[in-house]
Structure 1
Amino acid sequence: MADNITTSTTVRAVERALDILLYFAKSPRELSLSEIAREVGLHKSTAHRLLLSLQTKGFVRKQPGSDKYILGWSVLELLGNVYLSDELTTLALPEMAKLRDVTGETVSLYIRSGIERIRVQAVESNEPIRNVVAIGKKYPLYIGASGKVLLAFADEAVVEEVFLREQIPLDFAREDLLRQLDKIRIDGYAVSIQERDNGAAAIAAPVFGRNRECIAALSISGPVSRFTVDKMNQFVDALCASAAWLAKRLSH
């Protein structure tokens, strides 16, 4: 009997925690403890206890200096895993293979998960020396062509979060990064040379979704000895065309 009571109590706590998260989905703004407790039908002490658990796991964040909460980055991490099997990676694969055949270099697809990026699809170069990254590997947003594309077209709050939470090197100038992000928005693509990995270069372009939000970054990468600045400039149009084609398919 005791085990049944414990199980029932645990299940109920999970249901209540999910009710809180679903209420955030209905009201996409910051919410106070009192409002959450009232709308979900909980005592404030119960709501507070559940919010602490959700906060510990990163599903909600408490706004500094107030009793209001917003959704946390763990929600986006779940969304990132959804992308691993959705239409984006399925649609992208044939186009990525075509781009690889045209350029001879590795083509990758990244999505943003919180303040990181995840490689969710790839077509490796056939060259013996090539840029290889595992599917599912996470990297910061503030470095590398794909990361900067995702950051450039993210909300301002994401940019601020990167500066607040990431262990950015002391010699990494905030204003320089902001200028780079402005340039990426104007140019429509990003370039990186030996930023994340020594000896590697990359170009990346945004893939926009149905509501014109940037849902992914499509990139071409290779060794600097072969993927030179001239080569990158040569393939920018093909990269942007593939990203635009994918965006158009996703909007249908």
Structure 2
Amino acid sequence: MKHANANEPRSPQFNQSLAKAFDLLELFDAQHSELSLSEIAKFSGLSMGSVQRITHTLEQLGYLVKAPASRKYRLGIRLMTLSANYLEADLLVDCANPYLSELSNSCLETVSLTEPCGLDMIYMARFTSRHYIPIHMPVGSSVPMYCSASGRAFLSALDDTQVHDYLTACELKAHTPNTITNIDTLSELIRECRLRGVAWNDAEYFLGDINIAAPIRNAAGLPVAAVHITTPSSRWTLERALEQLAPLLMECARAITKAARMRS
């Protein structure tokens, strides 16, 4: 997870021990579903003593569990209760779900809602196409702002200075041969997205994956989320998606924005 304010000076009230515990939890992902104490120490840079104390505490609280066979640690299911509590309290997700479902039924493709977190966009809701989709992104997954349609939609609702600040804070990594990593090119692309009211990504994060997205704004006109349609290149081209799906997408984003404002 990339944090937009990672380089800002810490407040005297910042709790380093608590931060270390969360940093340790974030070491676990699909590629590292189970980790030993020595692996946790290696990846985190913490001493073995610190790792032992933190893992013991998290295990006692249910946020880590020890796999019986390997004796390695993995994430505990109790973490799901925190995520569920967040989703239940998120007014935007509740407002968006009916419109996301309607859009997915209309276009017969996968439709998702994402919200910003640092330099990433987090999947908050997802209605999957009945057709084959090559990429599975469950709720809670994250994608970088700079190379995702949803991130670019969010950025397109900011001014140029804010966009530049976000892009310079990102680690502009090429995930595929199509990934745009030049800040000037990205800035120009986001300006074009702003003019069109819709953003896009053509196989820049996953090959064979095309996305178009539109921002959702709060009452002050500031971006708070994005709705996007995911289509495989086996069924769509970017040009056809922008021509045929963008109007439906933009109408969905407007409807969610209006519904959320009425309930806020």
Q: CA deviation at 1:128?
A: 2.7
Residue 222 in 1 paired to residue 231 in 2?
A: yes
Tell me which residue corresponds to 2:118: 114
Q: Distance in 2 between matches of 1:164 and 1:172?
A: 11
Q: CA deviation at 1:130?
A: 5.0
- Decide whether aligned partners of structure 1 residues 57 and 130 sit closer, same or farther in structure 2, where only a CA change above 3 A counts: same
Tell me which residue corresponds to 1:231: 241
> Which residue identity lines up with residue 245 of structure 2 in the other structure?
F
Deviations 1:79-99 (A, max 9, x none): xx8466322111111111111
Tell me which residue corresponds to 1:18: none
Percent of matched pairs sharing the same residue:
25
Q: Would the aligned equivalents of 1:199 and 1:223 in 2 still touch at CA under 8 Å? A: yes
Residue 140 in 1 paired to residue 103 in 2?
A: no
Give the TM-score of the pair, scaled to structure 2: 0.62
Equivalence map 1:1-252=2 (5 Å): 49-50=12-13, 53=15, 57=19, 82=86, 85-154=89-158, 158-169=162-173, 172-228=181-237, 229-252=239-262
Unaligned stretches of 5+ residues in structure 2: 1-8, 21-81, 175-179
Q: Would the aligned equivalents of 1:106 and 1:130 in 2 still touch at CA under 8 Å? A: no
Q: Distance in 2 between matches of 1:216 and 1:99?
A: 16
> Which residue identity lines up with residue 170 of structure 2 in the other structure?
E
Q: Would the aligned equivalents of 1:124 and 1:132 in 2 still touch at CA under 8 Å? A: no
- Decide whether aligned partners of structure 1 residues 98 and 114 sit closer, same or farther in structure 2, where only a CA change above 3 A counts: same
Unaligned stretches of 5+ residues in structure 1: 1-32, 34-46, 59-77
Q: Distance in 1 between matches of 2:165 and 2:241?
A: 34
Q: Which has the higher contact order (CA 8 A, sep 6+)?
A: 2
Give the TM-score of the pair, scaled to structure 1: 0.65
Instruction: Select the structure that is richer in helix.
Output: 1
> Which 4+ stretches in 1 moved above 4 angstroms?
81-84, 155-158
RMSD: 2.9
Deviations 1:212-241 (A, max 9, x none): 111111000111111223133101111100
Q: Distance in 2 between matches of 1:93 and 1:145?
A: 20
- Decide whether aligned partners of structure 1 residues 57 and 234 sit closer, same or farther in structure 2, where only a CA change above 3 A counts: same
Q: Would the aligned equivalents of 1:142 and 1:148 in 2 still touch at CA under 8 Å? A: yes
> Which residue identity lines up with residue 13 of structure 2 in the other structure?
L
Q: CA deviation at 1:181?
A: 1.2
Query: Larger Cα Rg: Structure 1 or Structure 2?
Result: 1
Tell me which residue corresponds to 2:60: none
Deviations 1:85-119 (A, max 9, x none): 32211111111111111111000001111211101
